[in-house]
Amino acid sequence: MEKTIPELYGSLVFSDKVMREKLPKDMYKALRKTIDNNSHLEVDVANAVAVAMKQWAVENGATHFTHWFQPLTGLTAEKHDSFISPDGNGEVIMEFSGKELIKGEPDASSFPSGGLRATFEARGYTAWDPTSPAFIKDGTLYIPTAFCSYSGEALDKKTPLLRSMEALNKEAVKILKLLGKDDVTSVSTTVGPEQEYFLIDKEDFKLRKDLIFTGRTLLGAMPPKGQEMEDHYFGNLKPRVAAYMHDLDEELWKLGIPAKTKHNEVAPCQHELAPVFDTTNVAVDHNQLTMEIMKKVAEKHGYMCLLHEKPFAGINGSGKHNNWSMSTNTGENLLNPGKTPGDNTQFLLFLSAVIKAVDEYADLMRLSVASAGNDHRLGANEAPPAIISIFLGDELTSVIEAIEQDKFFGKSEKVVMETGASVLPHFAKDTTDRNRTSPFAFTGNKFEFRSLGSSASVASPNVVLNTAVAESLSAFYEVLKDVAPEKLDEAVHALVKDTIIKHKRVIFNGNGYTQEWVDEAAKRGLYNLKSTPEALPSFIADKNVALFTKHHIYSETEIKSRYEIRLENYTKTLHIETLTLQDMVYKQFAPALLNYIDDLTSSVLAKKEIGIAAGSATLEKTITKLSDLYEKVVLATDKLAEDTDKAEAIADAQEQATFYHEVVMADMEEVRGYADAAEPMIPDGYLPYPTYEQMLFYV
């Protein structure tokens, strides 16, 4: 019998319910304490959990277990071990110990480690993260883990994320205690990432070397119709796409991933999936899994799922909206404006903490979403600009202005807070969400960071957000900690006001796609870090090293190594792109064009032979035009090859990345310009790969 959705949901997850059923009561309690309060896990508890986990996994068909981790490749990694253990009599038993659950020892030497590899030994270890539930996939028990070097340096994305959540927790609880919220013992950040993607036919994909090697098309002219009619956005789903989405939902639900919303996006073949939000750590793990399962299910349906930020030039790329908030263990969303004055004070304090954080660490936020792929989107009038600013909406902005100018505010309710500002109007959520051009928008009870690329892990942007806000809260605590209780309201008001005055330059409610904003942002002194090579040095800027080390997110060594890895990743990406483009031009595009030119030339000659003059002049004109483009394409590719050699020879990593960006990428654009000018003149059948039209309009 088919399972109902509630039965199906989470059926492959070692959930709280399963733990409660399978574990002795005292062990369950001890584990819960570890999960909820980050307390140390005793060996006997680990052993009990291992036994229960194995039993549950085997019952559900698992034969293997793996420590699942997130190295700096941005992907996930796993090495499978079976549960079997020889019993000495030629038979096997299924075994799994607490030791095996808690710690694994994969060889770290083949994962990116930046400078760390030289300094530290190659061995690494994985450590169980009990705050993210284990699950079964393809007959294997997956145990979410953190990945560190033997000397404790983080080699993954999860470790700093957990550290940043801990930092925010600590600072937020301190502030809430000051405000009298004694029942709050922990604060966690929550994230709901909306994921965009493209689906194209698998057969088409297999014929495009650029998609295979780089994830995006490096050549390809726009078809007669693109996305200008906007007829795809929220359009009805084609049956084949609907079948895919249905299957995808089921696979995700089994893994306890609350996939909730799905719809067509702006570009043809583009879609979006949004889950219900979760604590950040779980949301990050789930997003990694979602991307993997999207790809897997796509192949089952004869599709390829493209997660690249810009698979097709001239057509909207894919991003990921990171909805972010903070919530207490008592279930309160700290970015919910609420209806009463008391909530307002607290809300305004946390809101100002975010404003201050974004203004002071905008460079880090920009850096956290920077990648070769995302460079094609940010600032290209389809995604937010590279300038990081905050959208608050009219209502909240007038509240902020009222506080700044000591004016009372309030249309409907004239209740005046002790802090001097009147009660916030209880505004409708959707009035705040109309501006799609802002990178960081307040959307009613959360912020939406919209600059993220579709393929990247959402860990890094959340590390930055959590840490920067923790820093604001820590600074606020210093100001407020010695204030007498009866003076606290006044002090909070003064602090909020002061923060707004200092940081309001980062608030912008207008259209972020315009040149006026670029100019205005420059006047306000905001960062405009246009490309990845330009953004990356912020990682090692003194103020940012100070931030990360103060809150124990990264050590200085970890920062340097990550900076190096990011540079290397950028350079490698562009290097593969240039080689792929050269390969496609020399082996596919130029020969195809030449074939067509040859065919045209043969017709002209044949006509001459039998004495027909009509049309020959026109043909010759076409031949001349195409021959001219042929020459330009080949010469531009020759130059690209030379500049690629030059790029490879540069020793300094930052200089090298910049050269790839400024010179090699410009060369690639030039090659593409000529090729795309010729392509619409080449009849179907000459090119050995599908065009944009074939890929985007027949799925």
Distance in angstroms (rounded) separating the CA atoms of residues 296 and 169: 36
Q: Kindly tell me which of 277 and 303 has the beta carbon lying closer to ligand ADP.
A: 277
Beta bridge partners of 149: 124
Residue 433 contact among ligand ADP, Mg ion, none, beta carbon within 5 to 8 Å by kind: ligand ADP
Q: Tokens standing for 695?
A: 């890929």
Residue 144 contact among ligand ADP, Mg ion, none, beta carbon within 5 to 8 Å by kind: none
Asked if 20 and 28 touch (Cβ cutoff 8 Å), the reply is: yes
Q: Kindly tell me which of 304 and 355 has the beta carbon lying closer to ligand ADP.
A: 355
Q: Kindly tell me which of 191 and 399 has the beta carbon lying closer to ligand ADP.
A: 191
Place of tokens 């939000």: 277
Asked if 610 and 570 touch (Cβ cutoff 8 Å), the reply is: no
Beta bridge partners of 466: none
Inter-CA distances, 248 with 7, 165, 242, Å: 17, 30, 10
Beta bridge partners of 193: 322
Q: Which member of 191, 348, 480, 535 binds ligand ADP (CB under 6 A)?
A: 191
Asked if 300 and 157 touch (Cβ cutoff 8 Å), the reply is: no
Distance in angstroms (rounded) separating the CA atoms of residues 234 and 271: 9
Q: Name the segment binding Mg ion (CB under 5 A); options: 292-300, 321-329, 583-591, 609-617.
A: 321-329
| Total interface residues for ligand ADP by CB under 6 A | 15
* Amino acid at position 508, single letter: F
Q: Kindly tell me which of 443 and 561 has the beta carbon lying closer to ligand ADP.
A: 443
Q: Which member of 120, 125, 197, 277 binds ligand ADP (CB under 6 A)?
A: 277
Q: Kindly tell me which of 22 and 232 has the beta carbon lying closer to ligand ADP.
A: 232
DSSP 426: -
Give the number of C-alpha atoms closer than 13 A to the C-alpha of residue 669, restricted to the C-beta side.
Answer: 9
Smallest gap from residue 377 Cβ to ligand ADP (A): 18
Smallest gap from residue 330 Cβ to ligand ADP (A): 14
Which of 252, 323, 279, 324 lies closest to 166, judged by CA? 279
Residue 333 contact among Mg ion, ligand ADP, none, beta carbon within 5 to 8 Å by kind: ligand ADP
Which of 344, 349, 354 lies closest to 324, judged by CA? 354
Q: Which of residues 226-245 bind Mg ion (CB under 5 A)?
A: none
Distance in angstroms (rounded) separating the CA atoms of residues 282 and 256: 10
Cα dihedral 105, 551, 484, 421 sign: negative
Q: Kindly tell me which of 280 and 544 has the beta carbon lying closer to ligand ADP.
A: 280
Q: Kindly tell me which of 106 and 444 has the beta carbon lying closer to Mg ion.
A: 444
Q: Kindly tell me which of 158 and 446 has the beta carbon lying closer to Mg ion.
A: 446
Q: Which member of 190, 288, 371, 509 binds ligand ADP (CB under 6 A)?
A: 190
Q: Which member of 324, 476, 539, 630 binds ligand ADP (CB under 6 A)?
A: 324
Distance in angstroms (rounded) separating the CA atoms of residues 15 and 7: 13
Distance in angstroms (rounded) separating the CA atoms of residues 512 and 549: 33
Q: Which of residues 414-473 bind ligand ADP (CB under 6 A)?
A: 433, 445-446
Smallest gap from residue 369 Cβ to ligand ADP (A): 17
Q: Tokens standing for 622?
A: 């076409």
Distance in angstroms (rounded) separating the CA atoms of residues 64 and 318: 35
Q: Which member of 220, 275, 317, 439 binds ligand ADP (CB under 6 A)?
A: 275
Q: Which member of 208, 321, 356, 376 binds Mg ion (CB under 5 A)?
A: 321
Q: Name the segment binding ligand ADP (CB under 6 A); options: 245-253, 323-331, 404-412, 577-585.
A: 323-331
Q: Kindly tell me which of 143 and 441 has the beta carbon lying closer to ligand ADP.
A: 441
Residue 191 contact among ligand ADP, Mg ion, none, beta carbon within 5 to 8 Å by kind: ligand ADP
Residues that bind ligand ADP (CB under 6 A): 190-192, 194, 274-277, 323-325, 333, 433, 445-446
Q: Which residues bind Mg ion (CB under 5 A)?
A: 321
